[in-house]
Structures are given as C-alpha cells and as structure tokens.
Amino acid sequence: MKLVNDIQALRQQVKEWRMLDLKIAFVPTMGNLHDGHLALVKSAHQYADKVIVSIFINPMQFGLSEDIDNYPKTLEQDKNRLIAQDTDLLFIPTSDIIYPKGYTDNTFVEVPNISNLYCGQSRPGHFRGVATVVCKLFNLVQPDIACFGSKDYQQLQIIQTMVDDLSMPVEIIPVEIIREDSGLAMSSRNGYLTAEERLIAPALYQTLQWLAQQIKTNRNFDELSQQAGEKINQAGLTTDYISICHAFTLAKATENDQNLVILASAFCGKARLIDNIQVNI
C-alpha cells in the first residue's frame, strides 16, 4: 500500500494509473476504521482495478458543541487493516492541504433542502462540511466510482444529489449496513458506549424492525412514528428523531408512496446513534 500525504504525489499516481487505462475506486473516511469501513473497501475492489482510501478528520463538519479533538485516532491500526484489504493507496492529507485558507474562509458546497432535514436540523452546517470535503476529495482523486455506507442514508442521498446536480463523472455505490451481532449498526461512535449502554443500544434497530412491519398494514405514519419514539425512550435511549420518508427525496412519506425509508437517531449516553431501514410496499 502506497502512503501519500500531498496533492502532487496523489495526482502523479492517479495519472500513471490512468495512462494504463485502470479504473479507480475511492473510499473517503475519517479513520478509526471498523468492519463497516472495510466492507466499503471490499466493495470498491469489485468495481475497480485500483482502490484509494483517504483518512481525514474534517473540521468543517463538526458543530460548535462537538469536540473534534476527542474524535478517535487509530492511524497505525487503520494502516494495517487497509493493507490486509489490499488497498492500493492511502491518502492522509492535513487540514492545511484540504483547507489552505482555513475552513471558515473556504469555498463551500451546499446541497439545498435535503441537507436541512433530520440530521441537518440536529447538526446545523454538518452536511455543508460533508459536501464540501467530498467534492474536494473527488476533485483531487478523480475516481470512477466512490463507495459510501448506507448507514448514513441521508448523507448518501446528499452526495448522490451533489454528484447529479454538478454533473460529476463519479458513480456512487451504496454499500449495505454492517451490523454487530446485537443488530447495532457499526459506527466509530459506538466506541463511546459503556458496557451497560451497549446492552440497550440495539433497541434502536429493533424498533426500526418493528416499525417496518407495522407500516405494511398501517398507513398512519405519524401515529406509528410517535409510538416508535416512545419505544426507543422506554428502552433507555433518548429519541432525536424518527421519520418515515420517501426513499429518494426524503420528504415525509404519504400513504401512496411505495419506496420508503425509516430514518432514526437517538442518544445513548454520549453517543448519538443513527440507523435506518428501507421498506418497499
């Protein structure tokens, strides 16, 4: 695996692969890699000849109340895990490389409407930071495809919208959620959970499964969402939001919609958990 931390070296390697007519896949991450991230790398290998992974903890997507300094950093472990997955290149830029003017004075990318819903309400400015850094990384790497996890379903739809709206020549590949044995969706934030909290955290996914069954026969979505939120709270979590949405627009679902996604977020101790489940009726 080749390690690169500057733009010139990255572009030179990409140029050499392009001259050989090799297809390039890209997996952007913030590090602290778990099996969910590695599933993205495995998927990328299925679609391309070369796989590039980036590790960059993006300050633009952290809110004022979110402590970026405490975000887990496990670079040496991450390198070893990526080597084991036959990653071809690891790009590890610094903030000065990504935001030479400082991220507050940097040109930004914002996807309207969809970015203001759900997690966008809970974390103002978060998706502006995500869209901006992904856009810049796409410009640097210039991949043919990019793999993103379906756990961050809203983020996935925002990136797909950005790619479509800006006519970016990148195919976005969604990768299924990887779950722990308990059903809890794998996330770097799971590291914040205590042993006791890990016992109750799976209630989020269990409630989504219950709700997915209910909406197949009951189209009173508002009432069902309220009941689901109460179930999550009764289990010992604190519901942030739970919403039954149109799977593509993320607008609030109507009784005539058939392709649905249930989006949910809840706090479990210090950890803010997100999850979703898709339902086709």
Closest CA to 210 of 256, 271, 144, 277: 277
Separation between Cα atoms, residue 242 and residue 275, nearest integer Å = 10
- C-beta of residue 142 within 8 angstroms of C-beta of residue 13: no
Q: What Cα–Cα distance (Å) separates residue 121 from each residue in 61, 99, 217, 276? A: 13, 25, 30, 17
Structure-token match 């004022």, residue found: 64
Separation between Cα atoms, residue 60 and residue 80, nearest integer Å = 27
Whether 37 is a known active-site residue: answer: yes
Separation between Cα atoms, residue 35 and residue 23, nearest integer Å = 24
Pairing label, strands 145-149, 89-91: unpaired
Which listed residue (34, 37, 126, 246) is catalytic? Answer: 37
**Catalytic amino acids?**
37
